Amino acid sequence: MTEVAATEVDTPHGPARVTRHEATDPRAVLLLGHGAGGGVGAPDLVSATAAAVATGVSVVLVEQPYRVAGRRAPAPAGQLDTAWLAVVEHVRADLPLVFGGRSSGARVACRTAGAGGAVGVVCLAFPVAPPRSPEKHRLAELAAPQVPVLVVQGERDPFGRPEEAPGRRVVLLPGDHGLKAAHGELRAAVAGFLGGLLS
């Protein structure tokens, strides 16, 4: 796995930052976004990156403009989606694109999959609903992609656990929303999904 130094990409909401991990003879590119208050160094994103590159898929880790600007509070959904799609256009090549991310980043990936032309979506710790507010669920976002979706979720995630559905595979791992354990299983799930998607 070859990591390329982080570079900034102009978006309508300020610069985003991308860090590329190149696979040898890549057959696709996986873009991964971070959670609302975290960064691209989250353990599950690191494991997903390693799994993708080992499967022949290059990875682009995307830091949203609000994080690049040093803010912890996330931008509104519309701004996140617009910035993400600007990055997509910047990195687009003659390879299939897979969108993904953890938590808030998974929501962005689902919402933009159609507009961005993704061939699949990888959701790590998708936040189904805020704890103690199940009526405020985001299941419509999770159902939006018209392409295969993988959800890797902690069994004790306080944000809930989505159900499997046509085109959606759900893998439950020990742990909570942080997905800080069972990284062998996480890597296997991501590698298996990408391998099947691109075969």
Crossing angle of the two packed helices 43-54 and 183-198, in degrees rounded to 10: 40
Read off φ and ψ for residue 105, nearest 5 degrees: -65, -30
pLDDT of 5 over the 90 cut: no
Contact of 83 with 15, CB cutoff 8 Å: no
What's residue 159's pLDDT?
96
What integer best gives the mean pLDDT of the chain?
95
Least confident window among 37-41, 56-60, 79-83, 144-148? 37-41
pLDDT band, residue 115 (cuts 50/70/90)? very high
What's residue 2's pLDDT?
60
Contact of 108 with 32, CB cutoff 8 Å: no
Is the CA virtual torsion 38, 43, 47, 49 positive or negative? positive
* Domain 2-198: which CATH number of 3.40.718.10, 1.10.3720.10, 3.40.50.1820, 2.160.20.60: 3.40.50.1820
Closest of 130, 95, 92 to residue 112, by C-alpha: 92
pLDDT of 78 over the 90 cut: yes
pLDDT band, residue 1 (cuts 50/70/90)? low
Percent of the chain at pLDDT exceeding 70: 98
Question: Please, where are the H alpha helices in the chain?
Answer: 43-54, 65-68, 77-91, 104-116, 139-143, 183-198
Could you give the CA distance from residue 153 to residue 160 in angstroms, rounded to a whole number? 9
Give 70's DSSP letter: T
pLDDT band, residue 3 (cuts 50/70/90)? low
pLDDT of 4 over the 80 cut: no
What's residue 181's pLDDT?
87
pLDDT of 184 over the 90 cut: yes
Residue 115, CA distances (Å) to 29, 37, 61, 95, 103 in order: 16, 25, 19, 16, 20
Q: List the beta bridge partners of residue 111.
A: none
Half-sphere exposure of 1 (CA within 13 A, CB side): 19
What's residue 72's pLDDT?
87
What's residue 46's pLDDT?
96
- Token pair, residue 152, equals 């890797």
Question: Region 111-126: what's the mean pLDDT?
Answer: 98
Could you give the CA distance from residue 146 to residue 113 in angstroms, rounded to a whole number? 8
Q: What is the pLDDT of residues 31-64, one digit of tens each?
A: 999 999 899 999 999 999 999 999 999 999 999 9
